[in-house]
């Protein structure tokens, strides 16, 4: 593993935060599709969407049912299909798997991974996480008789949303969407990052995905990367920086 890490180069970019929405519409791709991860829904992008829209970008946040990997990919593809022209596809957490499959759509010009799982050839969620020690959050997963996973309040507080206020964490817990455990078993073949330009936001204090795994995957796919001092959901805790990174990526396509 160490030899692999040393051999793979990783370009990086440092961006400053800006709340100024009075900037001309970016050149490049104008359509952004945002894909949420497990235990969440499209509203996880609620703080980022207005910033992107203020820059003149067309934005859709896909609503993944989280009932199966195939269902989630289909939802992302429907959102891509709604856009007129090329798309920058953005995925958070588990949605890194989803965009690696849905991103093979010819309309997708580039990919942005946000604290996300990135599959190598033929990998599923379990395979991706097996590359390095986990954060231990899986021990706090709750499983329903139907085989759906959910997070305990303790998991939300200590692993998912450490940077948010107690009130926000309670809302995140209450509104979470259960995730089919079977979705973790589906493999991705010929992932889109092999043929599409990619970007990656690393969350340095991520309690869901090992930050070292995020760093490794960003290097592996040769993504332009940005590391934030953030919990697992930087689009909630640091929306301006996440939005600026997405805008920068769109401008370069």
Residues in the chain where the model's pLDDT stays below 70: 1-26
Tell me the sheet residues that pair with 224.
Answer: 199
Would you kindly state where each structural domain of the chain is located, as residue ranges? Answer: 27-132+183-251
pLDDT for the residue 9: 38
Report the alpha-carbon distance of residue 250 to residue 52 in Å, rounded: 10
Beta-carbon neighbour count of residue 115 at 10 Å? 27
Q: Work out the angle at residue 80's Cα, subtended by the Cα atoms of residues 79 and 81, and round it to the nearest 5 degrees.
A: 90
pLDDT for the residue 27: 73
DSSP string over 144-167: -TTSEEEE-HHHIIIII-TTS-HH
Report the alpha-carbon distance of residue 70 to residue 217 in Å, rounded: 23
Report the alpha-carbon distance of residue 68 to residue 83 in Å, rounded: 24
pLDDT for the residue 5: 37
This prediction has a pTM of 0.89
Fold for the domain defined by 27-132+183-251 = Rossmann fold (3.40.50)
Angle 95-102/69-82 helices, nearest 10 degrees?
60
pLDDT for the residue 88: 98
| Cβ 55 vs Cβ 249: under 8 Å | no
Q: Which two tokens stand for residue 252?
A: 């370069």
């Amino acid at each position: 593993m160490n030899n692999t890490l040393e051999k793979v180069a990783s370009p990086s970019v440092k961006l400053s935060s800006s709340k100024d929405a009075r900037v001309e519409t970016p050149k490049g791709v104008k359509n952004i599709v945002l894909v949420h991860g497990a235990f969440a829904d499209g509203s996880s992008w609620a703080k980022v969407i207005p910033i992107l829209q203020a820059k003149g970008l067309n934005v859709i946040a896909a609503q993944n049912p989280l009932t199966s990997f195939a269902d989630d990919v289909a939802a992302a593809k429907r959102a891509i299909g709604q856009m007129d022209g090329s798309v920058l596809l953005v995925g958070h957490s588990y949605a890194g798997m989803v965009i690696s499959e849905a991103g093979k759509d010819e309309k997708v010009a580039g990919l942005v991974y946000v604290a996300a799982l990135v599959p190598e050839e033929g990998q599923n969620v379990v395979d991706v996480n097996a590359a390095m020690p986990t954060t231990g959050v899986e021990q706090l997963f709750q499983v329903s008789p139907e085989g759906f996973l959910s997070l305990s309040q303790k998991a939300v507080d200590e692993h998912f949303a450490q940077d948010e206020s107690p009130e926000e964490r309670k809302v995140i817990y209450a509104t979470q969407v259960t995730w089919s455990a079977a979705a973790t078993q589906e493999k991705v073949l010929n992932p889109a990052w092999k043929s599409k330009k990619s970007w990656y936001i690393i969350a340095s204090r991520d309690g869901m995905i090992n930050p070292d795994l995020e760093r490794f995957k960003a290097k592996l796919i040769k993504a332009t990367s940005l590391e934030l001092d953030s919990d697992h959901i930087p689009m909630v805790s640091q929306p301006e920086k996440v939005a600026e990174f997405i805008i920068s990526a769109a401008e370069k396509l």
